[in-house]
Structure 1
Amino acid sequence: MKKTISFTYYLAIAGLFGLTALPALAEETGTDANEGHQAISTADTGAPLPASITTLLDQGLKFHGTFNAPGDIQGYALSYDNEPVAAYIPSTSDHAIIGTLIDPQGNAIMESQLQTLVLGPMLEATWSAFEDTRFISEGNDDASNVVYTLTDPNCPYCNALWKNSRPLIEQGELQLRHVLVGVLSEDSFRKAAAILESNDPTKALETHELNFRDGGIRPVMPSEESRALLTRHAKLMREAGATGTPTSYYRDGEGNVQRINGAVSTDRLHDILGIE
């Protein structure tokens, strides 16, 4: 199945450095047409980086490794604001080109290299961070799928995802782990604290979501513990590259962490998680 390649972060980079970029119209096939081009981690690269790449690093990008691209082009796996960015330098030039490399058929290539060097490690780090923090769990511990989701009490899309996840939770197929944040407003922060400080946070979250249209749970003045936890969760959210709520994380059939942006329907959850 084909999927459209997002060009949002390339546009952001283009704006940052005064470049002009057009949205990529290419689509990526299920397999990378250039899987043979090896990705090399940061630890394996001993040679100095080209001046054009170090300039990008000086302006806020991070370097993750290199990979060989077709046509004697050297690829550099970078990130900006926790989003993968590919830069390419032809052997005949010292200039770096930022964008999506496509083949003659219009297919995006080199995406698996970015996944290996940039996005994969970032998502694994996010998963580990969520495992180590306090979350509110819904569903059986032996559920076949675990999903972490960043939930703001005042987010209508979080409420939609909460509703759409009920059938899978009731079937025992899903354990949904809410990492509460209060990023939309001070009221969100206080409602998140109210849920965390209740005698039964899982029940408090359920009651809040069921009464979301009427304002949900009554906000409280956060305790020092709640304030510290919610501040930490906001930091985790930024480090994870999540730009809104809900942002959710799950492991695919191969055990790799993947990200879901926004609310998705019950049927779409079935498809994403591979539930029959």
Structure 2
Amino acid sequence: MQQQSQPRQRAISIRFPKDIAVNRRHFALKTSSMLLAAGLAACSEKPAQAAAPSATKLNPQQAYELSAKAQGFTVGPVMAANTVYVYFDTTCPHCGHLWEQSKPLHGKLKMVWVPVPYLRPQSLTQGATILAATDPVAAMELNETRLMARQGGIEVNPNAGDAVLAKVKANMALFDQMGVDSVPLIVFRNSKTGEYGSQTGALETAQLAGMVGL
């Protein structure tokens, strides 16, 4: 990313409350009546916690620049100047909710969806299956539809190849480098203000649009 000639941007980091967290080891649901009204959720390796000052251990601009190295598939205008990165796990229902809510924005928002093998063993091979698909958007849609129907997500393609598996593993290394503990993770630059930000958890369409500056 270019830095030397740009004016100094004020970085922001947003982390909304989570009503449900999913333990990475036990995949058990935990609820909080106080957070339930927020309507937002994330899949996490830890129980739901109070809002933190940053969604990542890196500052938002660093997280955004690091995300440019991620291997994902693009939805929306390919030539758009601004990119929103979404780190997701194929077994995370809250990632599925974010995918569904982002659909109305696909015509005007460039999003790169980055699979990470965070929650379950099949997250790696399912993520590789989506990336290796002739139409990754259709493969993602199939995965989320099957996931929400409790059918286990997309059927794994055994011929996805080691190179694609390596891409998904590399995405996880970036995710770990940012020190994040839940998915989905949204890393963005507001198109109106130029401010960088990061957010964990699902959002509704209007919330997502407002956050990224649409």
Q: For this structure pair, what is the TM-score category when the shorter chain's length is used for normalisation?
A: 0.5 to 0.7
Tell me, what secondary structure is at the counterpart of 1:211? helix
Identify if the C-alpha distance between structure 1 residues 231 and 142 changes in structure 2 by more than 3 Å, giving closer, same or farther. closer
1:225 Cα offset (Å): 1.1
Which residue is 2:198 aligned to?
259
1:123 Cα offset (Å): 2.6
The one of 173, 196, 200 equivalent to 2:108 is 173
**Residues 149 and 246 in structure 1, CA contact (< 8 A), matched pair in contact too:** yes
Structure 2 gap segments, 5+ residues each: 1-13, 16-54
Q: Distance in 1 between matches of 2:70 and 2:200?
A: 21
* Pair 1:210 & 2:145 matched: yes
Q: Distance in 2 between matches of 1:163 and 1:123?
A: 25
Q: Distance in 2 between matches of 1:144 and 1:250?
A: 12
Which residue is 2:171 aligned to?
233
Q: How many equivalent residue pairs?
A: 161
Identify if the C-alpha distance between structure 1 residues 226 and 173 changes in structure 2 by more than 3 Å, giving closer, same or farther. same
1:133 Cα offset (Å): 3.0
Greater share of strand: 1
Tell me, what secondary structure is at the counterpart of 2:66? helix
Q: TM-score, normalised by structure 1?
A: 0.52
Which residue is 2:136 aligned to?
201
Q: Distance in 2 between matches of 1:230 and 1:256?
A: 28
Which residue is 2:207 aligned to?
268
Tell me, what secondary structure is at the counterpart of 2:86? strand
2:125 partner letter? R
**Residues 145 and 273 in structure 1, CA contact (< 8 A), matched pair in contact too:** no
Which residue is 2:71 aligned to?
134
After superposition, the CA RMSD in angstroms is 2.8
Which residue is 1:248 aligned to?
186
**Residues 115 and 171 in structure 2, CA contact (< 8 A), matched pair in contact too:** yes
Q: Distance in 1 between matches of 2:166 and 2:154?
A: 20
Tell me, what secondary structure is at the counterpart of 2:153? coil
Which residue is 1:162 aligned to?
99
The one of 75, 83, 86 equivalent to 1:146 is 83
Tell me, what secondary structure is at the counterpart of 1:250? strand
1:44-80 CA distance string (max 9 Å, x none): xxxxxxxxxxxxxxxxxxxxxxxxxxxxxxxxxxxxx
Q: Distance in 1 between matches of 2:56 and 2:197?
A: 14
1:189 Cα offset (Å): 1.2
**Residues 165 and 266 in structure 1, CA contact (< 8 A), matched pair in contact too:** yes
Identify if the C-alpha distance between structure 1 residues 143 and 223 changes in structure 2 by more than 3 Å, giving closer, same or farther. same
1:265 partner letter? E
1:191-218 CA distance string (max 9 Å, x none): 1121122222222112222332232210
> What is the identity percentage for the equivalent residue pairs of Structure 1 and Structure 2?
28
Identify if the C-alpha distance between structure 1 residues 274 and 128 changes in structure 2 by more than 3 Å, giving closer, same or farther. closer
The one of 107, 115, 125 equivalent to 2:62 is 125
Of structures 1 and 2, the one with the larger relative CO (CA 8 A, separation 6+) is 2
After TM superposition, list the pairs within 5 Å mapping 1:10-25 onto structure 2: none
1:53-110 CA distance string (max 9 Å, x none): xxxxxxxxxxxxxxxxxxxxxxxxxxxx963xxxxxxxxxxxxxxxxxxxxxxxxxxx
Structure 1 gap segments, 5+ residues each: 7-80, 84-118
Tell me, what secondary structure is at the counterpart of 1:196? helix
Q: Which consecutive segments of 4 or more residues in structure 1 shift more than 6 A? A: none
1:136 Cα offset (Å): 0.6
Q: Distance in 2 between matches of 1:259 and 1:246?
A: 11
Q: Distance in 2 between matches of 1:232 and 1:144?
A: 25
Which residue is 1:223 aligned to?
161
Q: Distance in 2 between matches of 1:190 and 1:138?
A: 21
2:144 partner letter? E
Q: Distance in 2 between matches of 1:134 and 1:235?
A: 11
